[in-house]
Amino acid sequence: MVLPRVVTPVPVAASRGECLQAGPFSPAEADAWRKAASALPQGSWRLESVPVPGRWMIYMGRFADADVLAKKRIELRIRKVTVDRTNNPELEPGLSLGRFSSEDAAERVLANLNNRGVRTARVIQERPNSEIFTLRLPLVDAALHAQLARLQGALAGKPLRSCF
């Protein structure tokens, strides 16, 4: 009679390593990581680029002062136009009449607003096309963990977490 062989399973993380990731990183933060991680084993990490599309806003402003801004808000409310803060100190005091993923969409809405009596608004690019990066370390074993501990500063305060 042959007895079955008992095999104790080894956790995947201990045998092959675990997948870790961090981010998002700005282009400057990604460059800092590349420099700091140059001593890590080749192929142990990669930065994955994620495109961030531009955004356009229908904008009114800069107004002379808070009183003029308040009067413009009332005028727009009477016309049943929704307004929001610009969330950009360089555009204050001002108003956003909407944010859009394309310039064409913003221009179409602006044309509609012009037909409703809104004359001084214009389309501006609120945010240009850009990219962010995610750091991916597909197989982090104990040795790589030790090396990563010395590179915490290059992670720009972003924690390493499981990929899954």
Task: Tell me the pLDDT tens digit for each residue of 72-117.
Answer: 999 999 999 999 999 899 999 999 999 999 999 999 999 999 999 9
Query: Which CATH number fits the domain 55-127, given the four candidates 3.30.70, 3.40.50, 1.10.3470, 1.20.1090?
Result: 3.30.70
Q: What is the pTM of this model?
A: 0.64
Would you say residue 19 has pLDDT above 70? Answer: yes
Sheet holding 46-52, edge to edge: 46-52, 130-140, 18-25, 161-162
Would you say residue 20 has pLDDT above 50? Answer: yes
Instruction: Tell me whether the omega of the peptide bond preceding residue 24 falls within 30 degrees of 0, making it cis.
Output: yes
DSSP 84: B
Mean pLDDT of 4-16: 42
For the chain, the average pLDDT equals: 90
Mean pLDDT of 129-157: 95
- Nearest 5 degrees, angle CA 115-CA 92-CA 113? 5
**Tokens representing 86?**
């610009």
Alpha carbons within 13 A on the beta-carbon side of 112: 11
Query: Which runs of consecutive H residues, i.e. helices, occur in 52-150?
Result: 66-78, 103-115, 142-149
Pairwise CA distance, residues 50 & 100, whole Å: 19
